[in-house]
Amino acid sequence: MTDHDFDALTREAVRDRLDRVTDPELDRSIVELEYIDAIEIDAGTVTVHLTLPTAWCSPAFAWMMAVDSRTEVEELLAVDRARIYLHEHMHELEINRGVNAGRSFAEAFPDAEDTVDAVRLELDRKARTARQYDAVEALLEAGLDSETIVSLRPTDLERTDGDDQLSIYLSDRAVGVSVPAEPIERYLEKARETGLVDAPTDPLFLTPEGEPIDPEEFELVHRRGRLAQVNMSSQGGICDGLRESRERRLEGASD
């Protein structure tokens, strides 16, 4: 590694990588949620300090955020090693030791009932279902009916560079409908990340269990998406309130 590589390593670059890490329960970036307290850079070593809204946040959730943070930061070419330190958490000792030593969750928490992979799988399913709700709502607002929506494939979508809209082509591309790109692409990111939408001809939308949607079951599947979305929004509101309370407490202590 050259000195130039070190010069290119900035807190902004590290923060950009951390912005890809989400709170798995809320499906929101840990940067957006203001979990990051400090980023320290010493040559090729990056140290990230983070604090969650509560000390009793699930150890599996906290572990995932710490591991994902370390993985994302170490993707930067100028980084030799990333160290992640969780603060004010009831399991911070086990998490900090385990994550920075490269141990598995099972090694750090041998008495845990569930594996972290099982927890991640369930939370990914919930996030995908909530994102699908937002994407489908955008299509319904654009005038598409349920039968058309369940028949869509990724190959039906077309994005113009620099445009914030997607074109959806129907009737053998004879008809095009313009819809907002953000909710569709955000859903597709999670669907592809979880391996459910790989090929251009795969069904675009699925049941929470990952099966194609029967047109007659569309309303039921969409309601399940709404429940997932409301649940995440509610949890997010609680976490925002807890974070603001912690910030006020810290401000009061410093006065």
The yes-or-no verdict on residue 234 having pLDDT over 60 is yes
pLDDT at position 3: 43
pLDDT at position 17: 97
User: For residues 133 and 229, is the Cβ–Cβ distance under 8 A?
Assistant: yes
What average pLDDT does the structure give for the chain? 88
The yes-or-no verdict on residue 238 having pLDDT over 90 is no
- The mean per-residue pLDDT over the stretch 137-145 comes to 94
Residue 4 pLDDT class (50, 70, 90 cuts): very low
pLDDT digits over 149-207, tens only?
Answer: 999 999 998 877 667 889 888 766 666 788 999 999 999 999 999 999 999 999 999 99
The yes-or-no verdict on residue 140 having pLDDT over 70 is yes
pLDDT at position 164: 87
- Residue 118's Cβ-count burial label (10 Å; 0-12, 13-18, 19+) is exposed
The yes-or-no verdict on residue 109 having pLDDT over 80 is yes
The yes-or-no verdict on residue 102 having pLDDT over 70 is yes
The yes-or-no verdict on residue 54 having pLDDT over 80 is yes
Q: Kindly report the number of other CB atoms within 10 A of residue 141's CB atom.
A: 10
User: For residues 142 and 179, is the Cβ–Cβ distance under 8 A?
Assistant: yes
pLDDT digits over 78-96, tens only?
Answer: 999 999 999 999 999 999 9
Question: Percentage of residues in the chain with pLDDT exceeding 70?
Answer: 85
* Rounded Cα distance, 254 and 204, in Å: 52
Provide CB contacts within 8 A for 215, sequence distance 6+: 146, 147, 150
From 29-38, 67-76, 244-253, the region with the lowest mean pLDDT: 244-253
Q: Residue 109: name the closest of 51, 61, 171 by CA.
A: 61
pLDDT at position 237: 65
From 49-63, 106-120, 185-199, 228-242, the region with the lowest mean pLDDT: 228-242
The yes-or-no verdict on residue 1 having pLDDT over 50 is no
> Does the CA dihedral 31-32-37-41 come out positive or negative?
positive
Provide CB contacts within 8 A for 205, sequence distance 6+: 132, 135, 136, 149, 150, 152, 213
pLDDT at position 187: 96
Q: What is the pTM for the complete model shown?
A: 0.83
The yes-or-no verdict on residue 106 having pLDDT over 80 is yes
